[in-house]
Structure 1
Amino acid sequence: MPSESASSVFVVRGLAKTYVMGEVSVPALQDVDLDLYSGELVVLLGPSGSGKSTLLNILGGLDRASAGEVVCDGWNLTRAGDRELTAFRREVVGFVFQFYNLIPSLTARENVAIVTEIAADPMAPHEALDLVGLGGRLDHFPAQLSGGEQQRVAIARAIAKRPRVLLCDEPTGALDSSTGVIVLQVLERINRELGTTTAVITHNAGIAAMADRVVQMSDGRIQSIRENGSRLAPSELSW
């Protein structure tokens, strides 16, 4: 739960996104107001088509809003040009997706080094891999790793540049529940030890209990925001 003194990392006001396909307009987000606070872990919960991924993509500078305002740590994303959005993604945000997007011909260490070589103040690749419990797998290729291990390499790659914010889109969606718990333990550790503001998208209501706050979405709108009185450890979750 954010303390009274916690600062807002993201301030979102009146956010809307409409996709235009020929003569058809499809509203994906409507009138979204949201704050994300420093160091908190937020779960964005809702069914497919509720607008979760669209919201995350706009927060991460991967997509542009149709209306409203998004400010992150002094960066006004709704007014930013392409070059500024590229700098924002490089300097401020780490991404974790459902599918790992690792380069098959590179080792775990080399996959992480792709990010550290362009970051301003990166961790060493082995340090990031140690944080996700893969210090002994540095020189393994993706094909030599399980799905859960590949996802942990993807998390190490995302955090190696020391992002202010970690945005995770269905990070356990391709994993069984026991492997998913291991990945969630890694995300919880990163949030707790590094203080990285973390937002996790899921359609899985069982994951919500590990969050400081739960943002429930439906039909492109925020239906509710609730605070958890205490966070459960990932090992205590059931789904």
Structure 2
Amino acid sequence: MSEILSTKEETRDSSSTQSKPVLHAHNLTKVYKTGEVEVKALDGVDFQVFEHEMVVLLGESGSGKSTLLNILGGLDVATSGEVYFKDRLISSDSKGLLTSFRREHVGFVFQFYNLIPSLTALENVALVTEIAKNPIKPEEALDLVGLLPRKDHFPGQLSGGEQQRVAIARAIAKQPEILLCDEPTGALDHQTGILVLEAIEQVNRELGTATVVITHNTSVGGIADRVVTLRDGKVSDIQSNSNRLSPSELKW
């Protein structure tokens, strides 16, 4: 694991945070139709995520955060607009190509952990490494999020925060270029949420994984390089942090 981390750190240190975009969305719209009623979830959104960057995506419920994240990650498609992964246009890809894109390049962490209850923590992570092209060992992924001592425990034997950290280990075990986290602390108490954010921050810092974290908690923006706020399906504000806080320094 140390060899992997040192290589990633050299890459991170040798380039600026905003070197080039890993994901770039231009003029995204998403319209949902129910009968004759149309709801515009996204309304002309431009969004970029750069190599090694940590972005926190803020907004109230219904602002379009999850819709944007799902389109960026290839789980959904926009009504109009373009999404690029590096120099590749993915917004017009077929379902099969989007599946390959997700499998090879994107790690997802959701509010609910989606672990298989009959498998241990190690086995849940190993499911991903068995189909990935360039995975790290499941033990190394669990060690990175501080859960190697719990590797033989089943989800039912783990706390909510521990289950979420297993989910993070599973997401990053395939070494994705992008980690997309949708309300990863939404079901957790304050102290447990800090532990989960520390795991996400460590993945971003040590592996250099470009990371987007959705939250409605404005204080979480302190851990980010940039904070992007959505309102009514549009980007209403973008702020940059010259100094990122550690999760333990956040004032909730």
- The two structures share one fold, judged by TM-score above 0.5: yes
Tell me the distance in 1 between the aligned counterparts of 2:77 and 2:17.
31
Q: CA 1:226–1:35 in 2, change beyond 3 Å: closer, same or farther?
A: same
1:102 to 115, 134, 150: 115
Q: RMSD of the alignment, in Å?
A: 1.1
Task: Choose 216-225 or 69-78, whichever is displaced more.
Answer: 69-78
* Residue 215 (structure 1) aligned with residue 228 (structure 2): yes
Q: Secondary structure at the match of 1:189?
A: helix
Task: Choose 142-151 or 17-26, whichever is displaced more.
Answer: 17-26
> What residue is the counterpart of 2:87 in the other structure?
74
> What aligned pairs does 1:180-191 form with structure 2 within 5 A after superposition?
180-191=193-204
Q: Deviations over 1:93-115 (max 9, x none)?
A: 00000000000000001100111
Given residue 84 of structure 1, which amino acid in structure 2 is its aligned partner? L
Q: Secondary structure at the match of 1:155?
A: helix
Structure 2: stretches of 5+ with no match in the other structure: 1-14
Shift of 1:74: 3.2
Tell me the distance in 2 between the aligned counterparts of 1:69 and 1:119.
27
> What residue is the counterpart of 2:219 in the other structure?
206
Q: Deviations over 1:124-144 (max 9, x none)?
A: 111100111011111100000
Shift of 1:43: 0.2
Tell me the distance in 1 between the aligned counterparts of 2:159 and 2:30.
37
Task: Choose 69-78 or 91-100, whichever is displaced more.
Answer: 69-78
Tell me the distance in 2 between the aligned counterparts of 1:4 and 1:117.
31
Shift of 1:238: 1.4
> What residue is the counterpart of 2:21 in the other structure?
8
Tell me the distance in 2 between the aligned counterparts of 1:236 and 1:70.
34
> What residue is the counterpart of 2:170 in the other structure?
157
Tell me the distance in 1 between the aligned counterparts of 2:235 and 2:16.
22
Q: Deviations over 1:54-109 (max 9, x none)?
A: 00000000000000100012332211001100000000000000000000000001
> What residue is the counterpart of 2:130 in the other structure?
117
Tell me the distance in 2 between the aligned counterparts of 1:143 and 1:105.
9
Percent identity at matched positions? 62
Tell me the distance in 2 between the aligned counterparts of 1:37 and 1:173.
25
Moved over 2 A (4+): 2-5
Given residue 147 of structure 1, which amino acid in structure 2 is its aligned partner? G
Shift of 1:36: 1.0
Q: Secondary structure at the match of 1:153?
A: helix
Asked if structure 1 preserves the Cα contact closer than 8 Å seen for 2:17 and 2:50, the reply is no
Given residue 107 of structure 1, which amino acid in structure 2 is its aligned partner? T
* Residue 169 (structure 1) aligned with residue 182 (structure 2): yes
> What residue is the counterpart of 2:98 in the other structure?
85
Tell me the distance in 1 between the aligned counterparts of 2:72 and 2:188.
25
Q: In the comparison of the two structures, how many residue pairs are matched?
A: 238
Asked if structure 1 preserves the Cα contact closer than 8 Å seen for 2:18 and 2:51, the reply is no
Q: Deviations over 1:135-164 (max 9, x none)?
A: 111110000000000000000000000000
> What residue is the counterpart of 2:149 in the other structure?
136
1:147 to 160, 163, 184: 160
TM-score calculated relative to the size of structure 2: 0.93
> What aligned pairs does 1:216-231 form with structure 2 within 5 A after superposition?
216-231=229-244
TM-score calculated relative to the size of structure 1: 0.98
Tell me the distance in 1 between the aligned counterparts of 2:130 and 2:18.
35
Q: Secondary structure at the match of 2:185?
A: coil
Given residue 53 of structure 1, which amino acid in structure 2 is its aligned partner? S
Structure 1: stretches of 5+ with no match in the other structure: none
Asked if structure 1 preserves the Cα contact closer than 8 Å seen for 2:29 and 2:41, the reply is yes
> What residue is the counterpart of 1:60 in the other structure?
73
> What residue is the counterpart of 1:232 in the other structure?
245
Tell me the distance in 2 between the aligned counterparts of 1:235 and 1:11.
31
Q: Secondary structure at the match of 2:27?
A: strand
Shift of 1:5: 6.2
* Residue 30 (structure 1) aligned with residue 49 (structure 2): no
